[in-house]
Amino acid sequence: MKPLQGKVAIVTGASRGIGRAIALRLARSGASVVLTARDETALDAVAREIDAAVRLALDLRLPESPQQLVDYTLGTFGRIDILINNAGATKRGEFLALTDEDWADGFALKFFGAMRLTRNAWPYLKAQSGSVAHIAGIGGRTPGREFAIGGSVNAALLSFTKALADLGIADGVQVNAINPGAVRTDRLHGRLARIAEEGSIDLAAAERKFVEASGITRVGEPEDIAELVAYLVSPAGRFIHGSLIDIDGGQTKTV
């Protein structure tokens, strides 16, 4: 029997990159998966890759969207066992160039969207002794000068994880956060393309330069994150609770 057979998982930001990889991996472990993101066309493409998957395109920045997603999941599968809060990208840039709107948008999806969805799903996660995993980022521990928004949002998610994990002990819900480093996504591709252009080199050379400058073993793959998530929410990973797990090829040097 597959370790997640009979379980129902919600994965946000599931249309591409890390979210897509997580959805595929949980499905291979036997879970039925509810996919959500804003891009309906991209969601449809992912849903076609998974037999036991449904998708709902919505914007989790809107206060009413998390309850809509919970209602949709319960109406389709009747339960919620796993919640993966992965949605949310934040704007990079020098601090003085970032506007109030940039800051508000950064928190609206990645923090408030995750918080509201967790709050609305919590009674059903409690009923199933379920699991929550927040996909935050290493910038929450060690932010750079162009990552003021992202670092602040991720740090808030890490603090939220610790607080929620304390409640999770009482309610029987596992709560953890995962901090990816540099992972091969569309966003990282854009950064590598800029390095290549600035240095008049090809993308492979730009990646080697990036890896060396970052002091890491290699660029991560979305599947690296997905494998960790699948282990965490499986029966084998249940003793891991309230943890903030860096998965970054050695980029985070702080203790």
Instruction: Assign 182 to helix, strand or coil.
Output: coil
> Are 101 and 54 members of one domain?
yes
Nearest to 19 by CA among 178, 255, 153: 178
Global pTM value? 0.96
How many CB atoms sit inside 10 A of residue 191's CB?
15
In a domain, 169, yes or no: yes
d(CA 240, CA 223): 20
In a domain, 2, yes or no: no
Give pLDDT tens digits along the chain (255 positions).
899 999 999 999 999 999 999 999 999 999 999 999 999 999 999 999 999 899 999 999 999 999 999 999 999 999 999 999 999 989 999 999 999 999 999 999 999 999 999 999 999 999 999 999 999 999 999 998 999 999 999 999 999 999 999 999 999 999 999 999 999 999 999 999 999 999 999 999 999 999 999 999 999 999 999 999 999 999 999 999 999 999 999 999 988
> Are 51 and 112 members of one domain?
yes
> Are 26 and 142 members of one domain?
yes
The tokens for 54 are: 């449904």
In a domain, 252, yes or no: no
Overall number of domains in the chain: 2
Domain that holds residue 98: 8-183+222-246
Beta strands (DSSP E) in 3-65 are 8-12, 32-37, 53-57
> Are 31 and 101 members of one domain?
yes
Edge-to-edge strands of the sheet including 174-180? 53-57, 32-37, 8-12, 82-85, 131-135, 174-180, 244-247
> Are 201 and 144 members of one domain?
no
> Are 194 and 230 members of one domain?
no
